[in-house]
Protein backbone atom coordinates (compact mmCIF):
# COMPACT_ATOMS: atom_id res chain seq x y z
CA UNK A 1 0.00 0.00 0.00
CA UNK A 2 1.36 3.42 -0.93
CA UNK A 3 2.13 6.02 1.74
CA UNK A 4 -0.41 8.41 0.21
CA UNK A 5 -3.21 5.83 0.50
CA UNK A 6 -2.23 4.97 4.05
CA UNK A 7 -2.32 8.63 5.10
CA UNK A 8 -5.62 9.21 3.27
CA UNK A 9 -7.07 6.19 5.06
CA UNK A 10 -5.86 7.39 8.49
CA UNK A 11 -7.17 10.94 7.91
CA UNK A 12 -10.55 9.55 6.82
CA UNK A 13 -10.79 7.35 9.91
CA UNK A 14 -9.73 10.12 12.32
CA UNK A 15 -12.32 12.59 10.95
CA UNK A 16 -15.01 9.88 10.92
CA UNK A 17 -14.20 8.95 14.52
CA UNK A 18 -14.25 12.62 15.55
CA UNK A 19 -17.79 13.01 14.18
CA UNK A 20 -18.89 9.75 15.84
CA UNK A 21 -17.19 10.85 19.08
CA UNK A 22 -19.13 14.12 19.11
CA UNK A 23 -22.40 12.22 18.63
CA UNK A 24 -21.50 9.77 21.41
CA UNK A 25 -20.67 12.71 23.68
CA UNK A 26 -24.12 14.19 23.00
CA UNK A 27 -25.70 10.84 23.84
CA UNK A 28 -23.71 10.71 27.07
CA UNK A 29 -24.71 14.28 27.99
CA UNK A 30 -28.36 13.40 27.38
CA UNK A 31 -27.97 10.25 29.47
CA UNK A 32 -29.09 7.83 26.75
CA UNK A 33 -27.69 5.18 24.45
CA UNK A 34 -30.50 5.45 21.91
CA UNK A 35 -29.48 7.45 18.82
CA UNK A 36 -33.13 7.95 17.86
CA UNK A 37 -33.67 10.15 20.91
CA UNK A 38 -31.53 12.78 19.17
CA UNK A 39 -32.90 12.64 15.59
CA UNK A 40 -31.51 15.98 14.39
CA UNK A 41 -28.02 15.30 15.73
CA UNK A 42 -28.16 11.77 14.28
CA UNK A 43 -29.17 13.15 10.88
CA UNK A 44 -26.39 15.77 10.86
CA UNK A 45 -23.74 13.27 12.01
CA UNK A 46 -24.89 10.68 9.44
CA UNK A 47 -24.90 13.24 6.63
CA UNK A 48 -21.41 14.41 7.60
CA UNK A 49 -20.09 10.84 7.71
CA UNK A 50 -21.65 9.98 4.36
CA UNK A 51 -20.19 13.13 2.74
CA UNK A 52 -16.83 12.38 4.33
CA UNK A 53 -16.85 8.83 2.91
CA UNK A 54 -17.71 10.19 -0.54
CA UNK A 55 -14.93 12.79 -0.35
CA UNK A 56 -12.47 10.08 0.71
CA UNK A 57 -13.41 7.84 -2.23
CA UNK A 58 -13.41 10.79 -4.63
CA UNK A 59 -9.95 11.80 -3.37
CA UNK A 60 -8.73 8.33 -4.40
CA UNK A 61 -9.88 9.11 -7.95
CA UNK A 62 -12.72 6.59 -7.86
CA UNK A 63 -15.46 7.37 -10.35
CA UNK A 64 -18.76 8.78 -9.10
CA UNK A 65 -20.81 5.68 -9.89
CA UNK A 66 -18.52 3.54 -7.70
CA UNK A 67 -18.60 6.19 -4.98
CA UNK A 68 -22.39 6.06 -5.11
CA UNK A 69 -22.48 2.22 -5.02
CA UNK A 70 -19.97 2.10 -2.16
CA UNK A 71 -22.01 4.63 -0.16
CA UNK A 72 -25.15 2.53 -0.63
CA UNK A 73 -23.26 -0.57 0.50
CA UNK A 74 -21.93 1.33 3.53
CA UNK A 75 -25.42 2.51 4.48
CA UNK A 76 -26.86 -1.01 4.06
CA UNK A 77 -24.08 -2.37 6.27
CA UNK A 78 -24.74 0.26 8.94
CA UNK A 79 -28.53 0.55 8.91
CA UNK A 80 -29.62 -3.02 8.19
CA UNK A 81 -26.77 -5.04 9.68
CA UNK A 82 -25.58 -2.55 12.36
CA UNK A 83 -22.02 -3.03 11.11
CA UNK A 84 -19.27 -0.39 11.01
CA UNK A 85 -19.86 2.09 8.16
CA UNK A 86 -16.18 2.98 7.50
CA UNK A 87 -15.30 -0.72 7.24
CA UNK A 88 -17.72 -1.18 4.33
CA UNK A 89 -16.40 2.00 2.66
CA UNK A 90 -12.83 0.76 3.14
CA UNK A 91 -13.78 -2.67 1.75
CA UNK A 92 -15.04 -1.08 -1.50
CA UNK A 93 -12.10 1.33 -1.63
CA UNK A 94 -9.66 -1.55 -1.14
CA UNK A 95 -11.40 -3.75 -3.71
CA UNK A 96 -11.48 -1.03 -6.40
CA UNK A 97 -7.91 0.21 -5.90
CA UNK A 98 -6.50 -3.32 -5.69
CA UNK A 99 -8.23 -4.31 -8.88
CA UNK A 100 -6.83 -1.27 -10.69
CA UNK A 101 -3.33 -1.83 -9.18
CA UNK A 102 -3.47 1.60 -7.54
CA UNK A 103 -3.23 0.51 -3.92
Binding site residues, other proteins, CB under 8 A: 1, 6, 9-10, 13-14, 17-18, 21, 63-66, 68-69, 73, 76-77, 81-84, 86-88, 90-91, 94-96, 99, 103
Task: Please list, in sequence order, all residues whose beta carbon lies within 8 angstroms of the beta carbon of residue 45, skipping any fewer than 6 positions away.
Answer: 19, 20, 22, 23
Minimum distance, C-beta of residue 60 to other proteins, in the bound complex (Å): 14
> From the CB of 46, what's the least distance to other proteins, in Å?
18
Amino acid sequence: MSFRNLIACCVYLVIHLTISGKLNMLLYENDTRDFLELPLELFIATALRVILGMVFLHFSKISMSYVFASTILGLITRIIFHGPYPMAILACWFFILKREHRL
